[in-house]
Each structure stands twice: as structure tokens, then as C-alpha cells.
Copies of this chain bind each other. A is one copy, B any other.
Amino acid sequence: MEFKDSKGIFQQIADNICEKIISGEYPVFSKIPSVREQAAVMGVNHNTIMRTYMELQRENIINNQRGIGYFVTEEAPQRIVQLRKEEFFRHEMPEFIRQVKLLNLSQEELKPLFDQLNKQP
């Protein structure tokens, strides 16, 4: 996996896992890759994955059974979407609007954006 240096690696991995959960790649109740396996896949140290998993566990997105592995909780998808929506409306959307105004983008330039957003249900 490639990482931006604008954010902690463990946070990026957490985001990545969360997206796999809400996209269905990691279904509810399923076991996610072990700390060591994930570390190998991501190309990072297993301690870094450990930190990621502990964070996600603290947020009740995964839970673990010692000696067995980590599992996606039943409430995970709902929690992730909820947390992300809050973040989206509190920060990302206002910042996005601020950018548009600061750059003084025209309706013409924004047309592709509208086209994409209008595809939403």
C-alpha cells in the first residue's frame, strides 16, 4: 500500500480497513487479516498494524479474541458511516466550499462536479 506523508500511516490503514468494511469486502462478523498478515500485505511493521487494530477496537469497529483474531462488529458499518458523515459535514464539505469560493471557480468549471453529484440517488 502507498501512503501519503500528510497523515499517520496507522490512520491511513484504519481508513483503508473502514472502507473495506462499508464496501462489503470485510463483511460483518468476518475475521480480518491477522496482525502479521496485514503487516506483510501493507508492507509495514506489525506493531503499526497493532496500533491500527487497537484504535479500531476502541471505536467498536472490530473486536478481538485473543489467540484467534480480530472480527468486524455488527455495528461497524453503521458506526463508520455515522462517524464519517459527521466529519464530512463538519469539516470536509465546508472546506470544500471555502476552496471553491477562494478560487472563484465558475459554474462552467463546476459543471463536472454537478454532473457527478447529480448521479447520486
A81 to chain B, nearest CB (A): 6
Among the 9-residue stretches A39-47, A67-75, A110-118, the one with 4 or more Cβ atoms under 8 Å from chain B is A110-118
| A120 adjacent to B105 (CB under 8 Å) | yes
| B6 adjacent to A102 (CB under 8 Å) | no
Q: Does A55 contact B (CB under 8 A)?
A: no
- A97 CA to B92 CA in the complex, in Å? 11
Say how many copies of this protein the assembly contains.
Answer: 2
Chain A: interface residue total (CB-CB under 8 A) = 31
| B101 adjacent to A120 (CB under 8 Å) | yes
Q: Does A88 contact B (CB under 8 A)?
A: yes
| A107 adjacent to B92 (CB under 8 Å) | no
A5 to chain B, nearest CB (A): 8
18 contacts between A and B (CB under 8 A): A6-B6, A6-B7, A23-B102, A84-B99, A84-B102, A84-B103, A85-B103, A88-B99, A92-B99, A93-B112, A97-B116, A104-B120, A104-B121, A106-B120, A107-B118, A107-B121, A110-B117, A113-B117
